[in-house]
Amino acid sequence: MYVAIAGNIGSGKTTLTEILTERYGATAYYEEPNNPYLGDFYNDMSRWAFQLQIFFLGSRIKQTVDMLSTGDKNIFQDRTIYEDAHIFADNLHKMGLMTSRDFATYMKIFELSTNLIPKPDVLIYLRASIPTLVSQIKRRGREYEMNIDEGYLSRLNEKYEYWINNIYDGKLLIIDKDTDDFVADPSIIDRICGQLDEMTAEK
């Protein structure tokens, strides 16, 4: 079972990955935490947008290829290669923070990569409103995230909704983080696991 967890900044992807990995005795793969461009990007987005996204794309390609070659029975992945392109890179391009030339180069690499790796058996999308995202970002207290603009988060949410509703064509499980607090209410995890078991049994 290969399950990927998608969602905006602060939606709870890492927390859910940890919980489900423990529940299933699975192997977890997390987003590269040491992107050398991240701090620079939040200080000057237009200067560092392309470098940031290329680094994320390269690390995601390597991670996906590596994890699918291990033979592990159950795998949970925190964020996907699809989000890198359809959410973050596309948003930076639309905002004028990544040039059309850079974006075209990026998408060529992305399209080549996605032809070489399989889709997740199930994609979990954590849907969350801006107040929920802001609250969780503040709670985890990462210094480089403290100045993220709410308008930026809102644009990302719009991108996520468009991607989920119009582009992604794999099996999908949507969790509403505004109402389903799986940290406070363990029964929600039971429900999620039941849904995952049903969806992966249909393979």
Give the integer Cα–Cα distance in Å for 155 and 169: 22
Among the listed residues 40, 44, 66, 78, the single catalytic one is: 78
Token pair of 105, please?
A: 């180069």
Catalytic (active site) residue 181 = no
* Residue 87 main-chain phi, psi, to 5 deg: -105, -65
Residues known to be catalytic? 78
